[in-house]
Structure 1
């Protein structure tokens, strides 16, 4: 696994541990999806439900693959051991990426504004300078919007163990000041 992927895994585990208790649980994913939904108050209910379904499937996949003692908790060691196994998680990641990215397309134009993008990623817990760096790397248009498809692809790339030097690495970099 590439160093960049390991850095992304560490960050994602920390962010998904939304209640900060050191393990991942179903409630963490509910809390995270609620924070993201709250960050996009103008979104219709159907995209919010699709985003929540992506979070739920991600948790269900983790629990099904990793929670061998069925205690409803995933430790970092369990998470790191196989979360970046594309053959085990690609379906969950695809649904998660689509639901998350498309939630930000409030007007159906196929693009996401900087404020919505920023709000959603702040809802996840990413640092503002990193969010801004990623937005710029995704090449906003003259109206300061990025394409939903580009963002969805970058979310998938973020979870890919063989990817390095990708824009999404900016989310896991030490925050720029």
Structure 2
């Protein structure tokens, strides 16, 4: 695996390992969902809140299916590294489940209800994931590939797939987590 792709996978592992205990587990996914709900002021009991949590449950199930080689309910860094490029490059279940997760994320992010996720709304989403204001602006500019002033489900899903499969630093996926562009 090329060093940049390995670094990107390691960076997203760290993002998913919310409690920093060295493994990804279901509690981490609930913590991520709760962090996003809190950032947008959306109660978990609302329809959109429930949809986000259900989407994260589905994504967790898919992640475990593809990454948890020893079936212990925990995903180690090695398991994650070995599975992610194949899972995104080959598609399969990720091509079905991941767009659902993204659709739920963007529905929560669409705080003004206009059916679009503009730069300000997308910034709240990325700040909840730990990006700076400047990184949010850069990411939005590069992910809005059609230049319509919004990030769509299609654009976001394409950027994530690009992030995991393309070792170039000049593609939209390179800006999904701008701080992770260069290996440490």
TM-score category, normalised to shorter length: 0.7 to 0.9
Match for residue 150 of structure 2? 146
CA RMSD of aligned residues (A): 3.2
Match for residue 56 of structure 1? 57
Match for residue 12 of structure 1? 12
Higher relative contact order (CA 8 A, sep 6+): 1
Q: How much has 1:2 moved relative to structure 2?
A: 5.8
The aligned length equals 175
| TM-score, L = length of structure 2 | 0.77
Q: Distance in 1 between matches of 2:159 and 2:100?
A: 11
Q: Provide runs of 4+ in structure 1 moved above 6 Å.
A: none
Is the CA contact 2:11–2:180 (under 8 Å) kept in the aligned structure 1? Answer: no
| TM-score, L = length of structure 1 | 0.79
Match for residue 21 of structure 2? 21
Find the partner of 1:119 among 124, 127, 134.
Answer: 124
Find the partner of 2:161 among 142, 157, 160.
Answer: 157
Deviations 1:87-113 (A, max 9, x none): 352222222222112221223322123
Q: Distance in 2 between matches of 1:52 and 1:163?
A: 31
Go from structure 1 to structure 2 and tell me whether the alpha carbon gap of 1:100 and 1:170 turns closer, same or farther (over 3 Å shift).
same
Greater mean alpha carbon deviation, residues 43-52 or residues 16-25? 43-52
SS in 1 for 2:92: helix
Q: Distance in 2 between matches of 1:11 and 1:46?
A: 31
